Amino acid sequence: MEIVLLVIAILLIIIVLLQSAKAEGAAQIISGGTTDLFKNRKERGAELVVTRVTWVLGLTFFIICLVATFL
């Protein structure tokens, strides 16, 4: 179970680092550029896939951690 958890953690780190568009928006908060920060953008294509994979990996990581705690 620890090996599966380690693999999921590494994949989660990699997939979060691939989400560059949201990171650029967060950097604008610090620098003061808020022109496109609060604009509603719809995710499409690869960005949508990356977001969904992040959600799935995050939930899987959370569930495995809960199961490992109570075993």
Map out the domains of the chain as residue ranges: 2-70
Burial of 41 (0-12, 13-18, 19+ CB in 10 A): exposed
> What distance in Å separates the CA atoms of residue 56 and residue 3, rounded to the nearest whole number?
18
Task: Provide the strand spans (E) within the chain.
Answer: none
User: pTM of the prediction?
Assistant: 0.69
Nearest C-alpha neighbor of 52 from the set 25, 18, 28, 27: 18
Summarised one tens digit per residue, pLDDT across range 15-69 is: 988 886 555 555 555 666 555 555 666 667 888 888 899 999 999 999 999 999 9
Nearest C-alpha neighbor of 55 from the set 2, 1, 12, 7: 12
